[in-house]
Chains A and B, each alone.
Chain A
């Protein structure tokens, strides 16, 4: 780990992106304390302030709409930070679930081999044969909208990436003598998986995590944009963008631009960092 961080130091832009991502996460976490308005609280939102340009003072005179308001009169700055929260919550928990399922499947496939390997990897192949967005769309169409379903759909669409990477990393380790030694010592299989196989296969999995996190954000945004994601009362970034795009002809450009900027920053920072991370871990690909 020290080595990896040392190698990353040589790429200040990647570290800058990591910092941007961290800043976005912190902003999202602190949203209730650093925003003037709770955009989900109908009592706090003044419908008469709809579609005000940035810099306008709120009708109540208590604060200024830094980035303007949306068509429902919500403070855009507050809505973006709250939307960021939702987006990160959805993408983050979906990625974590996909990670756990995928890593476990990959480890079992690599260690057990035989028919377990065949079944797991065939499932992975089938899934990877379809575009992720299509799978997520289909799942959403079947189970319906809602936060929980959205997370489920994303995790369902993404676990195979983790499984595939984990399996190939673990296969290299399985043939090592220390795994044979562990078997010879009659250690229980779960222990061999978790204590011997997993820690030594972890770095490529972390790379997949960063890249898939960015991907999850993008898919969540797409689904929300298409109206299959979060509800209008509690919009994620994607839904804010969708709403904003409808206002573009009315000249309310800020309603599209600022949520867009936030989304691009988020995806871009995670992607750039993940890509550099991958190349640091696997210099051959660079």
Chain B
């Protein structure tokens, strides 16, 4: 079997406050504040299969964007490695590493910040392929026209500037710009989050079409489960920097294993649902600066036991009828809730520990 197109191996990222020299001196003397460390991504391993779209879901502060930026080589990892076609990018010779990085492109969230305001659409799209010698100068008009039509823009758009475009059109340009260097991997970072519903639908349809046409594998980062469900083949769920569940899309939605995934699923707004009582998960998202010990989810988990506070659960393969990989980071195999009843009561009701 050939190596997966992209592998993230035990990837971590720690942000530390950069102390000034005074703080450092004080620290050395034991007088300063202890340096703050934010573990944005904590040992995440994922591998991307050829042609698939892997959804990465999580709430704010779960590290999904940091993960995407590390995968795209825009942010160095604090630990672990990114492997492209089986080889760690950091070990590659200079020119090959450049090539690998060019093969991993990114589509950004904010259509108003992701285009250079002083470049025309055509220049923005064709700049990189020209610089890298991927196209000859005389091929540009044809190549540009085909890229524009691929993302659903008319050829006249080539001479427009970003301020003349709507949000949806800008996002299409961003996608064309990424496609222009024929990357093998595209990372979509909240690529539809800033768009209106009808425009979001257009872009999602476009992405579904592009995926159909093939030619690239992708990671689709989003906070919106509905969107990820529509577009992804597999789904990874992050909570406070850790991967808590990974499975095929349908498995995640039909038989979620991790209690956090279940909570997320039961709380995502569903169109057409009758007026209902919300049965929300208790508690706030903990600060990533001081995540709870053990399983990060235990303070909010209705099923938490003593062990959850002490030990952080390993990501393990869970019982799966279909034979596809289903990973989850929970100590227990909790019974599946019945679809109507909402979360099942905990097996051993425990005292609420909110007053700590």
Contact = CB atoms under 8 A, between A and B. Distances in A.
- A and B directly contacting (CB within 8 A): yes
Interface of A: 176-178, 180-188, 191, 195-196, 199-200
Contacts of A191: 131
A26 B23 CA distance: 57
Contacts of A180: 69, 74, 106, 108
Given A177-B113, A178-B114, A195-B119, A184 B104 contact: yes
Interface of B: 69, 72-74, 98, 101-102, 104-106, 108-110, 113-119, 127-128, 131-132, 174, 177-178, 181
Contacts of A177: 108-110, 113-114
B131 A187 contact: yes
Given A178-B115, A200-B116, A184 B131 contact: no
Contact of B105 (A184, A187, A188, A199): A184
Contact of A185 (B109, B115, B177): B177
A188 B130 CA distance: 12
Contacts of B110: 177
B131 A182 contact: no
A200 B101 contact: no
A187 B118 contact: no
Nearest to A199: B118
Contacts of B74: 180, 183-184
Contacts, number: 58
A178 B98 CA distance: 19
A184 B106 contact: yes
26 contacts: A176-B113, A177-B109, A177-B113, A178-B114, A178-B115, A178-B116, A181-B106, A181-B108, A181-B177, A182-B116, A183-B74, A184-B101, A185-B105, A185-B127, A185-B128, A186-B101, A186-B181, A187-B127, A188-B131, A191-B131, A195-B116, A195-B119, A195-B127, A196-B116, A200-B116, A200-B118
B113 A178 contact: yes
Contacts of A196: 116, 119
A186 B118 CA distance: 19
A184 B102 CA distance: 7
A183 B181 CA distance: 13
Nearest to A188: B131
A264 B349 CA distance: 86
Given A178-B115, A184-B72, A200-B116, 9 more contacts: A177-B114, A180-B74, A181-B106, A181-B108, A181-B178, A182-B116, A184-B73, A184-B104, A195-B119
Nearest to A196: B116
A178 B127 CA distance: 13
B106 A186 contact: no
B334 to A, nearest CB: 40
Contacts of A200: 116-118
A187 B114 contact: no
A178 B118 CA distance: 11
B240 to A, nearest CB: 24
Contacts of B174: 181
A181 B175 CA distance: 11
Nearest to A181: B114
B340 to A, nearest CB: 43
Contacts of B177: 181, 185
Listed from nearest, the 5 A-B pairs whose CB atoms lie closest are A185-B128, A177-B114, A199-B118, A177-B108, A186-B102
A198 B115 CA distance: 15
A106 to B, nearest CB: 18
A186 B132 contact: yes
Contacts of B178: 181
B19 to A, nearest CB: 14
A191 B102 CA distance: 16
Contacts of B131: 185, 187-188, 191
B116 A186 contact: no
Contact of B128 (A176, A186, A199): A186
Nearest to B181: A185
Nearest to B189: A177
Contacts of A184: 72-74, 101, 104-106
A187 B105 CA distance: 12
Contacts of A182: 116
A187 B128 contact: yes
B6 to A, nearest CB: 14
Nearest to A192: B116
B354 to A, nearest CB: 38
Contacts of A199: 116, 118
Given A178-B114, A180-B74, A200-B118, A186 B98 contact: yes
Contacts of A183: 74
Contacts of B118: 199-200
A180 B68 CA distance: 12
Contacts of A188: 131
Nearest to B102: A186
A257 B84 CA distance: 75
Among A178, A187, A196, the one with the most B-chain Cβ atoms within 10 Å of its Cβ is A178
A176 B127 CA distance: 18
A191 B128 CA distance: 10
Contacts of A176: 113-114
A180 B116 CA distance: 11
A177 B117 CA distance: 12
A80 B109 CA distance: 59
A185 B114 contact: no
Contacts of B73: 184
A38 B104 CA distance: 67
A195 B123 CA distance: 11
